[in-house]
């Protein structure tokens, strides 16, 4: 009887997690990565929806462990989430995100899930994880400034007439290559561990820092060379191709950073079953895939209309810092909102336009920030209250 109850409760929590993964896949992580490319007519809506689902699944499986473990085990100290707590947190967070998707309100997934998990955790009697909260708050606060600033600088660089696009675009490709050489994947390390291409080279051939630096520079140089050849041959085509590559990298990063928001609360429940983390990540990745294929095309179509006014240059400028920030969050295991990343980057690239402030609505910025704060506070209060009420009735 007890075993049946545990399995039934775990099943409900799993369905809530799948609902959350679907909402994430259909929302910001499924729609924003390729929206700039669609707006620039570099790819069709349906093909973008298909690719973002596949790349999100790969990102979830290959990079999702850090954020998943952080959401499931590091937001509350002195207590593990129970099945009831995880189910309540996931259902409330997923419902709020789904409401945002269907009503057009910018509900921030990371803020919502974090608030919900902390809410039920404290209601259970757990202690606040202040050190982790400081890491999270630092990234959330710095993201608009760093992302917006990098997007602004990149857009200005791409707009200048003093430097040819045959120089700027390949150099930006080199930056992406440098990041790629240093982000971590599970297939570069044994078991469930992760390692970067540069660190794997050190493990294979030795040489320490010299090998690490040489590998990073080599990957960057190859990226520069490939983009230089394509840009010299056809600048407009190479720009569109670069935009597609960036969209793919952001979609991959979205899977790695967002899957933990959906399946992280399940981690404490699966300890007794000794479930490999790769299986849990695959489950969450499939949820993202379903959400991307069923809900993302509609969102991509809507968002791409906003992106179409950006043009390829400003779209590239928005996606480069988005990729970098998302990978930073994955590395440190910090839940981060893709809405915040993308919106900040768009605002930054918008200020680089010729009309300066006229390109960005201050009222819309204020409304969006208010919605983010409301997502965090609302999810926390609702989850705390619902868990307290449910446990009082049981």
Q: Which run of H or E residues covers position 127?
A: strand 127-128
Supply the pLDDT for residue 265.
87
Under 8 Å between Cβ of 270 and 280: yes
Give tens-digit pLDDT for 102-138.
766 667 788 999 999 999 999 999 999 999 999 999 9
Contact 338, 109 (CB under 8 A): yes
Continuous segment of H or E residues that includes residue 195:
strand 195-196
Collect all residues with Cβ–Cβ distance below 8 Å to 370 and sequence separation of at least 6.
none
Nearest to 26 by CA among 383, 270, 297: 297
Q: What distances in angstroms separate CA 153 from CA 158, 172, 175, 350, one per listed residue? A: 9, 12, 14, 11
Question: What digits encode the pLDDT tens for the residues 321-378?
Answer: 999 999 999 888 899 888 788 878 888 887 776 554 445 556 666 777 787 788 899 9
CA 254 – CA 237 distance, rounded (Å): 26
pLDDT of 20 higher than 80: yes
Contact between residue 62 and residue 189 where contact means Cβ atoms under 8 Å apart: no
pLDDT (tens digit per residue) in 38-61: 777 778 888 888 888 899 999 998
3-state secondary structure of 267: helix
CA pair distance 136, 145, nearest whole angstrom: 15
* H-only helix segments in the chain: 2-26, 28-31, 35-39, 45-63, 65-73, 83-103, 109-123, 130-159, 165-180, 197-205, 208-233, 235-263, 277-307, 311-332, 338-351, 362-393
Say if CB 82 and CB 13 are below 8 A apart: no
The mean pLDDT of the chain is 84
pLDDT average, residue stretch 152-158: 89
The residue that leads in pLDDT, 274 or 385, is 385
CA distances from 315 to 131, 319, 377 (A): 35, 6, 32
Residue 291 C-alpha from the chain's centroid: 15
Say what the pLDDT of residue 357 is. 44
Task: State residue 28's pLDDT score.
Answer: 66
């Amino acid at each position: 009887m007890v075993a049946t109850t545990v399995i039934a409760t775990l099943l409900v929590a799993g369905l809530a997690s799948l609902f959350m993964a679907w909402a994430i896949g259909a929302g910001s992580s499924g729609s924003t990565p390729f929206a700039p490319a669609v707006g620039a007519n570099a790819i069709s809506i349906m093909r973008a929806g298909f690719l973002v689902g596949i790349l999100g699944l790969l990102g979830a499986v290959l990079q999702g462990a850090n954020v998943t473990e952080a959401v499931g085990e590091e937001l509350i100290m002195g207590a593990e989430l129970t099945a009831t707590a995880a189910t309540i947190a996931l259902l409330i967070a997923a419902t709020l995100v789904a409401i945002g998707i269907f009503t057009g309100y910018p509900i921030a997934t990371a803020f919502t899930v974090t608030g919900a998990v902390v809410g039920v955790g404290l209601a259970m009697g757990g202690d606040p994880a202040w050190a982790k909260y400081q890491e999270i708050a630092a990234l959330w606060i710095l993201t608009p400034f760093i992302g917006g600033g990098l997007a602004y600088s990149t857009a200005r660089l791409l707009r200048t007439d003093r430097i040819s696009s045959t120089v700027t675009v390949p150099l930006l490709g080199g930056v992406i290559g440098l990041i790629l050489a240093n982000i971590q994947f599970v297939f570069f390390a044994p078991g469930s561990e992760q390692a970067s291409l540069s660190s794997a080279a050190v493990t294979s051939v030795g040489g320490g820092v010299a090998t690490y630096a040489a590998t990073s520079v080599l990957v960057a140089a190859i990226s520069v060379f490939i983009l230089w050849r394509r840009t010299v041959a056809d600048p407009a085509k190479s720009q569109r191709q670069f935009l597609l590559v960036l969209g793919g990298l952001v979609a991959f990063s979205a899977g790695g950073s967002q899957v933990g928001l959906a399946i992280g609360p399940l981690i404490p429940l699966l300890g007794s079953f000794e479930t490999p983390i790769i299986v849990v990540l695959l489950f969450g990745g499939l949820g993202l895939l379903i959400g991307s294929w069923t809900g993302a095309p509609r969102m991509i179509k809507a968002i791409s209309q906003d992106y179409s006014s950006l043009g390829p240059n400003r779209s590239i400028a928005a996606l480069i810092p988005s990729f970098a920030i998302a990978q930073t969050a994955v590395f440190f295991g910090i839940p981060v909102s893709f809405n915040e990343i993308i919106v900040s980057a768009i605002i930054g690239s918008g200020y680089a336009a010729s009309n300066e402030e006229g390109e960005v609505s201050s009222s819309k910025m204020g409304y969006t920030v208010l919605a983010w704060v409301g997502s965090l506070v609302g999810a926390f209060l609702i989850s705390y209250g619902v868990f307290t009420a449910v446990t009082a009735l049981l």
